[in-house]
Structure 1
Amino acid sequence: MPETTGVESATQRGGTVERIDQATVRASDLPLAQIADPAALALIRRTEGPSYRPPGAAMVFGRDGSVAGHLSSGCIDADIALHAGAVIAGAAPRALRYGRGSPFPDLILPCGGGLDIRILPVTEGAGIAALRAQIASRRPADLWVSTTGTGAAPFPGADLRLRILPDIRFIVFGKGPEAVAFSRMTAGAGYETFLSSPDPETLELAGGGPILPLPFPLRGRPADLPADRHTAVVLFFHDHDHEPAILLGALATEAFYIGAQGSRRTAENRREGLRRMGVDEAGLARLHGPMGLIPSTRDPRMLAVSVLAAVLAEAGAN
């Protein structure tokens, strides 16, 4: 049966070589930090053919009945929850097959593929509490998985190493409908989004809510810019005078994407200005501009979609 869990590696233990699969997921794919008292984990171990969710994606079940995550578009999640409830109540870990080759013919995967899912107990011991804290603080973490349990460090019998990366974060600087449309779109999609603007009307139109305010740096570089290597910094200004200080601050971070709105001529003028300010060619190469996958769009909503698609494509390539 084909496996698509990722790169397989060989690990030497006790004089024997064990095969350990590896997969990389985002924190939202394995939402341990969202459940106060996790008790069971339902994890996609393998996929065959088309799959709605990637190998390593999980649902997390709490002792209080809380649930985070999903493994399908709704076709099997309720059945998985029933099995997870049994594991929480003390039943043995379970290995389930859904879709192609499944013993459950009444549970159909519309995509036509097959899923192997493990349902495992989770305890706060064995470093799991520390792993959950790592995820919540946006630090990469590893979860090791066997047929019977999980751990935050390698243990005998583990056959899968999950690398858990922080979710993508967006920091938006700008003024006007483009900044509003983009901030609403990323926040509405569930991405952590900060918005900084010199314009009160822009902040008001963005509507607050899940969009987090960030003080606007009227002079100098942004202070304490919350940008790690899983952050995208995007600028939406028609008046480009604000840009140099902001871009210098962004380039001082590990942000994986730094981009600014404007035409090709504007982008070249921007690079030349930063070059005169001492930014080297490696720094200039990190700048994206013009932004987006759709060239020369002038509609704020279309620009927002275009830029978001470009950022996510960049994230997937890194």
Structure 2
Amino acid sequence: MRELTPRLRQWLAEGTAFSLATVVKVSGSAPREPGTAMAVSAAGEVVGSVSGGCVEGAVFEAATEVLETGEPRRETYGFSDETALSVGLTCGGIIEILIQRVDPASSVTRVLDSIGEEEPVAVATVIDGPAPPGARRCVWQDRADGTLGDERLDAAVTEDARGLLTHGMTGTKRYGPHGERCGEDIAVFVQSFAPAPGMLVFGANDFAVALSRVGSDLGYRVTVCDARPVFARAGRFPRAHEVVCAWPHDYLARTEVDERTVICVLTHDPKFEEPLLMAALRTPAAYIGVMGSRRTHIDRTGRLRERGATGAQLARLSSPIGLDLGARTPEETAVSIAAEIIQRRQGGTGLPLGHRSGPIHRRTLPQTAVPVGNRDRDR
């Protein structure tokens, strides 16, 4: 829903109600992940998508009805072949969607404000069980708003939502009627909106220009850093969120790096690379990619060993950077780097899908623990 936030905030500021359709469960080869959203305004405007086109027409009709009645609905869409007359997913998967009306006075307004300001927030919604369907509790690290109908249930959900939010996770939790964690009566969908993950690009060259565009499209907060002021100019990187003129290792030392951060080193200069990489290898970054030839990588790792880097640390380096796509241009190279980042995050093989068997959309984590970041950009 992050990508929809500006438009949804505008609707609410104008006093326009809308229906919000959110994917709360998927199974099989479904096209989108839990948390994907589509909104329909009272004027009939649509933003977002829940399936990539398969069931949007049916969801639009259901969302329009929810706008009129105000009653939340849960819809399930399963397999439909090309000759079927009923609405369904041609991919063979199943998605479950919760549709709710959102009014200008709703607590969702404060959630959208927090998303826009990159303040972490989670939204817990009852999707099944004896608790009020569609009941919503909004949870921040220091406060909560709304009720699911029972104080003890509210307390348990608030605690669990904060835990999921800390790790940037979205998923479904089940409880007893009074918040018992051993219960199965009530299903609560918890959607986390953590700040966008960081992409740190070092080296202000043409490859960085292209990568900053792709990284921004993937939902990263992109920072480009270079020690040379003639190249580290914001005008060269219109899609970057920040352009910094500083020695790379100095900038990295004062920058927060977590398990979702990706680091791309495109400097081609040992005096910048080596201190930077020694600093990067001490961080929990999800990905550290370094541009250069195979010979350059061998020479580089030798010098890093002399500086004290261990074999386990050096194994974290993705170098030469990117997947083997035959890329030549900066734009093609940016796609290659982005492909490797996605492959690492999602656990893919990097092979053509036509060379594999089994489901296209693999589940790398349990349904109850889906990491957010790029994929929560509605996405």
SS of 1:262's equivalent? coil
1:256 CA displacement: 0.9
1:222-301 equivalence runs, <5 A:
222=251, 224-294=254-324, 298-301=328-331
- Equivalent in the alignment of 1:120: 100
Cα 1:128–1:69 shift into 2, 3 Å: same
Higher strand proportion, which one? Answer: 1
Residue number among 115, 124, 130 corresponding to 1:143 in the alignment: 124
- Contact 1:183/1:206 (<8 A) preserved: no
- The TM-score normalised by the length of structure 1 is 0.70
Contact 1:43-1:117 within 8 A present in 2 as well: yes
Answer whether contact 2:249 2:272 (CA < 8 A) is retained: no
**C-alpha separation between the residues in 1 aligned to 2:306 and 2:237?**
37
Q: 1:141 to 1:274 in 2, by over 3 A?
A: farther
What is the SS of the residue equivalent to 2:224?
Answer: strand
Distance 2:117 2:311 in 1: 35
Whether contact under 8 Å (1:227, 1:255) holds in the other structure is: yes
Structure 1 position 35 matched with structure 2 position 8: yes
CA separation of 1:160/1:316 partners in 2, compared to 1, >3 Å: closer, same or farther?
farther
Query: C-alpha distance in 2, partners of 1:286/1:310?
Result: 13
Deviations 1:150-193 (CA, angstroms, capped at 9, x unpaired): 33453745314446364443221114322222222223455432
Task: Write out per-residue CA displacement over residues 129-160 of structure 1, whole angstroms, 9 at most, x where no aligned residue.
Answer: 46973796375846343241133453745314
Q: CA deviation at 1:307?
A: 1.3
Structure-1 residue corresponding to 2:334: 304
Counterpart position of 2:209: 180
User: What secondary structure sits across from 2:262 in the alignment?
Assistant: strand
Letter in 1 for 2:223: F
2:32 to 43, 49, 53: 53
- Unpaired runs of at least 5, structure 2: 139-153, 158-174, 178-184, 348-363, 365-379
Which structure has more relative contact order (CA 8 Å, sep 6+)? It is: 2
Q: RMSD of aligned C-alpha atoms?
A: 4.1
1:69 Cα deviation after fit: 3.0
1:79-99 Cα distance to aligned partner (Å, 9 max, x none): 424433443444321122445
Distance, in Å, in 1 between the alignment partners of 2:260 and 2:7 is 19
Letter aligned with residue 52 of structure 2: S
Pick which of 135-144 and 216-225 moved more: 135-144
- Residues 281, 313 of structure 2: 8 Å contact kept: yes
Aligned pair partner of 2:240 in 199, 211, 214: 211
Deviates more, 1:190-199 or 1:56-65: 56-65
**Pairwise mapping of residues 76-225 of structure 1 onto structure 2 (< 5 A)?**
76-98=55-77, 100=79, 105=85, 107=87, 109-111=89-91, 113-121=93-101, 129=110, 133=114, 137=118, 139=120, 141=122, 143-147=124-128, 148-149=133-134, 150-152=136-138, 154=157, 156=177, 158-162=186-190, 164=192, 166=194, 167-199=196-228, 207-218=236-247, 221-222=250-251, 224-225=254-255
CA contact (8 A) 2:18 2:41 kept: yes
How far apart, CA to CA, are the structure 2 residues paired with 1:296 and 1:272? 27
Instruction: Tell me the CA shift for residue 306 of structure 1.
Output: 1.6
Do 1:100 and 1:113's aligned partners in 2 also have CA atoms closer than 8 Å? yes
d(CA) in 2 for partners of 1:254, 1:281: 16
Quickly say closer, same or farther: Cα 1:127–1:49, change in 2 above 3 A: closer
Relative distance call for 1:233 and 1:63 in structure 2 (3 A) is farther
Q: Is the 8 A contact 2:127 2:189 kept in 1?
A: no
> What secondary structure is seen at the aligned counterpart in 2 of 1:151?
strand
The change in CA–CA distance for 1:34 and 1:278 in structure 2 (over 3 A counts) is farther
- TM-score using structure 2 length: 0.60
- 1:308 CA drift (Å): 1.0
- Deviations along 1:197-222, one digit per CA (max 9) or x if unpaired, are 34567556974333223313237521
SS of residue paired to 2:250: coil
Q: Percent identity?
A: 27
Look up the SS of the partner of 2:320 in the other structure. Answer: coil
Amino acid in the other structure paired with 1:242: F
Is the alpha carbon distance of 1:127 and 1:304 closer, same or farther for their aligned partners in structure 2, counting shifts above 3 Å?
closer
| Separation (CA, whole Å) in 1 of partners of 2:222 and 2:202 | 11
Larger displacement relative to structure 2 (190-199 or 135-144): 135-144
